[in-house]
Amino acid sequence: MNLSRKDVQFKAYGMPSLRFEEQQLTSFSGLILFQALIARLDLRARLRRCFRHLQKSSAYTYATLVLGLIVHLLLGYRHLRDIRFYRDDPMVQRVLRLKRLPDVTTVSRILARFDLPGVERLRRLVLELILDRLSQLSLPRVTLDLDGSVIDTRRWAEGTAVGFNPRHKGERSYFPLFCTIAQTGQVFDVLHRPGNANDTHGAQEFLRACILQIRSVLPNACIEVRVDSAFFGQAMVQLFEDLGAEYSITVPFRRFVELKQVVESRTEWHRLNSEVSYFELSWKPKVWRQDGRFLVVRTRTPIRQRGPVQLDLFVPHVYGYEFKVIVTNKRTQARSIAAFHNGRGAQEGIFAELKSQGQLGYVPSRKWIANQVFLLASVLAHNLCRELQMAVRPQERRTTAKRTPLWRFEKLATIRNHLLRRAGRLIRPNGRRTLSMNANRTVRTALADYLHALEAA
């Protein structure tokens, strides 16, 4: 279609005058999607059950506060004081079923009143939502990734301690342990710990509970677990054997002189591709009761040049090898095991999205319980974003060697920018409440597809 310059260009020279009025205008029309999802999951009633043992001390219930934190994070806000920027938004009020949003002091005061049983029930709710999705999918195989992530704070907070903190050494932090589901890209469970906790602190009991929870809804599924070298040990291996779970664990082989000598003296390697080769051996540390299947992988990589670089001269690349040892009880080929174990790097992408978009790295309070509630709200916001996409789209992938998620998920930032942050007006033509939006064809189609799929589900 050919358009003339007159049809396209608009001559505007003056600045429009600015006027503020009390109107039913919203900046977040796309929240209607999460309003439908919250209703579909019966999330409001589930949250009320988590905190029904706590006395109602104000007009704002504990369940409403948690739901408000989830919406706060979905909208992309970080600090609690940012509530004042949308406290009059009618769409936010409608999702939370409030005529007036709480101010910052009210939120902080109620956060400080949460107790440990309420936090544990909220954590259980995170589990239940994922278990519901897994039972619907009836997956023949579920892959768990286990790792910790540092949440540092520039101030003192209850439960923090000085520990491993590569970005801000010497600062106090938390070091929660996360269990994620590779197939859905969701956080299954989280164990809140102080910053000086060892990687394995509470890991065995935590992982045992995760595996048993999945067994309760998928008794015939094959459960796989991938962990790094911090969790290597006979006790962890024995736990997987007792629970009948398949595993792959990175081995800190430099601690074992005999294994290190075997790797150094090896001359025959089997090729996986042009850069990667491997060999297998049956071996055990001296304290182990039986041999295990160890896979030694080496990757040809360029050695980083030290010192100044002369850009006007040719500097040849010098190549060396990076070595990695994996212990596993899987019976598949070495190529599949190497790809399977390397796939655990996707968990770092989940952590990155949680911290950059879900504000996981923010510590809002000096109270440990309050910070746990905020962390679980961040996890719920991330999981709901993934649940929304799984509820409206068919499964797009089959199980891959790396256990890539079964859907091509859009990040929370993409959904927020494309759908959530849309201007609209709440009107009442013929007595019926209506959300009026700009007639953008792309947005109209996307919102209609989401809402129809949620209604059908």
Predicted confidence (pLDDT) per residue in 25-80, tens digit: 899 999 999 999 999 999 999 999 999 998 776 789 999 999 999 999 999 999 99
Residue 312 pLDDT: 58
Note whether 191 and 209 are within 8 A (CB): no
Predicted confidence (pLDDT) per residue in 391-436, tens digit: 999 999 999 999 999 999 999 999 999 999 999 998 888 888 888 8
User: How far is CA 287 from each of CA 232, 233, 324, rounded to the nearest angstrom?
Assistant: 13, 10, 21
Global pTM exceeds 0.85: yes
Which amino acid makes up residue 205? E
Residue 254 pLDDT: 80
Task: Tell me what percent of the residues of the chain surpass a pLDDT of 70.
Answer: 95
pLDDT surpasses 70 at 313: no
Mean pLDDT of 91-109: 93
Q: What mean pLDDT value characterizes the chain?
A: 90
- The total of structural domains in the chain comes to 1
Residue 99, domain extent: 19-114+412-456
Residue 289: band (very low, low, confident or very high) from pLDDT cuts 50, 70, 90? confident
Residue 56 pLDDT: 72
**Would you put residue 292 in left (φ > 0), alpha (ψ -120 to 50) or beta?**
beta
pLDDT surpasses 90 at 219: yes
Predicted confidence (pLDDT) per residue in 157-187, tens digit: 899 998 877 777 888 999 999 999 999 999 9
Domain assignment present for 43 = yes
Residue 23 pLDDT: 73
Note whether 247 and 227 are within 8 A (CB): yes
Mean pLDDT of 201-218: 95
Domain assignment present for 183 = no
Domain assignment present for 426 = yes
Three-state SS string over the chain comes to CCCCHHHHCCCCCCCCCCCCCCCCEECCCCHHHHHHHHHHHCHHHHHHHHCCCCCCCCCCCHHHHHHHHHHHHHCCCCCHHHHHHCCCCHHHHHHHCCCCCCCHHHHHHHHCCCCHHHHHHHHHHHHHHHHHHHHHHCCCEEEEEEEECCEECCCCCCCCEECCCCCCCCCEEECCEEEEECCCCEEEEEECCECCCCCCCCHHHHHHHHHHHHHHHCCCCEEEEEECHHHCCHHHHHHHHHHCCEEEEEECHHHCHHHHHHHHHCCCCEECCCCEEEEEEEECCCCCCCCEEEEEEEEEEECCCCCCCCCCCCCCCCEEEEEEEEEECCCCCHHHHHHHHHHHHHHHHHHHHHHHCCCCCCCCCCCHHHHHHHHHHHHHHHHHHHHHHHHHCCCCCCCCCCCCCCCCCCCHHHHHHHHHCCCEEEECHHHCCEEEECCCHHHHHHHHHHHHHHHHC
Domain assignment present for 145 = no
Rg, the chain, Cα only: 26
Domain assignment present for 46 = yes
CB atoms within 10 A of CB 380: 25
Mean pLDDT of 374-378: 97
| C-alpha–C-alpha distance, residues 323 and 278, integer Å | 9
Domain assignment present for 293 = no
